[in-house]
Amino acid sequence: MGTGTSHGVPPLDCVMGGYRKCPKGVCRKVLTDPRHGRTRTSVLFRKRGKTLIADVSSDFRQQALRHDIKRIDAVVLSHGHIDHFGGLPDIRSYTEKKPLVAYASAETIDTVTQAFPYMFEARKGRDRGVPRLQTVELTETTNIAGFKVTPVPVAHGHLKECLGLRVDNVGYVPDVKTMSAKSVKLLTGLDCLILNCLRDKREHKTHMLLDQSMELARRLAPKRCYFIHMTHDIDYTVDSKKLEPWMEFSYDGLIINV
Ligand SMILES: [Zn+2]
Ligand SMILES: [Zn+2]
Ligand SMILES: [Zn+2]
């Protein structure tokens, strides 16, 4: 549903600066081709009438409207950075009939609980304004709303329990710098890989650049690979020429059948 890095594209500072520092002019292109715009990263999985959301991004409300999401059966959170769970307050509408379960690592559950204590404080009666959210630690392969979900530990900055996910035969790794051989093994044989690719140039401490993302994609060797979590330094029309035929830059709203 969303393919942007934590600032989204266009980032506000690029707009405030009159696009003068936009490295490839991507932000100006948003005005005529909305596919250059990127809301914060999230993926919706749908199978046999069930819906699983991986990451509830800061732009969740906008994404729910765009995709006309009528129901959500469960939520999985990759890690405790706000771009991946900042939309949780808006999920309340989906918890009116029954509470929603959010699966995540213990570290992420801790962060979310501290960020939104009002959601988890014991309440008397039912407060319609507050999402009824339950958290469950995800430590091993688990059946979640009919999807087989495997947590895949990855290194991303100072976090100790940042996860990629294997959802049936689809890999989702929104934020990653490196991953262990064990995690690589968990993500082999995929039909589809959805992988972090921050920007084209300038090394970043906690994310991968385009050549690093392509290198990891080659190691994981899925049938198809879609790059996500991108800044305004990736122009999906121009930079596509650098990719191999089985790789693509994703864009908001892209629907993939697997
Ligand atoms: Zn992120
Ligand atoms: Zn820009
Ligand atoms: Zn992150």
pLDDT of res. 228: 97
Q: Is pLDDT above 60 for 87? A: yes
Distance of alpha carbon 131 from alpha carbon 160, whole angstroms: 27
pLDDT of res. 126: 60
Q: What's the average model confidence in pLDDT over 215-234?
A: 96
Cα(182) to centroid(ligand 1), Å: 23
Q: What's the average model confidence in pLDDT over 43-55?
A: 97
pLDDT of res. 81: 97
Distance of alpha carbon 42 from alpha carbon 57, whole angstroms: 6
For the entire predicted model, the pTM comes to 0.95
200 confidence band (pLDDT: 50, 70, 90): confident
Domain ranges in the chain are: 12-247
Cα(79) to centroid(ligand 3), Å: 7
The helices-and-strands tally (H runs, E runs) of the chain is 8, 12
Question: Do 103 and 144 meet the contact criterion of CB atoms below 8 Å apart?
Answer: yes
Q: Is pLDDT above 90 for 202? A: no
Token pair recorded at residue 91:
């999920």
Amino acid sitting at position 153: P
- The proportion of the chain whose per-residue pLDDT surpasses 90, expressed as a percent, equals 88
Cα(125) to centroid(ligand 1), Å: 35
Domain 12-247, CATH homologous superfamily name and number: Ribonuclease Z/Hydroxyacylglutathione hydrolase-like (3.60.15.10)
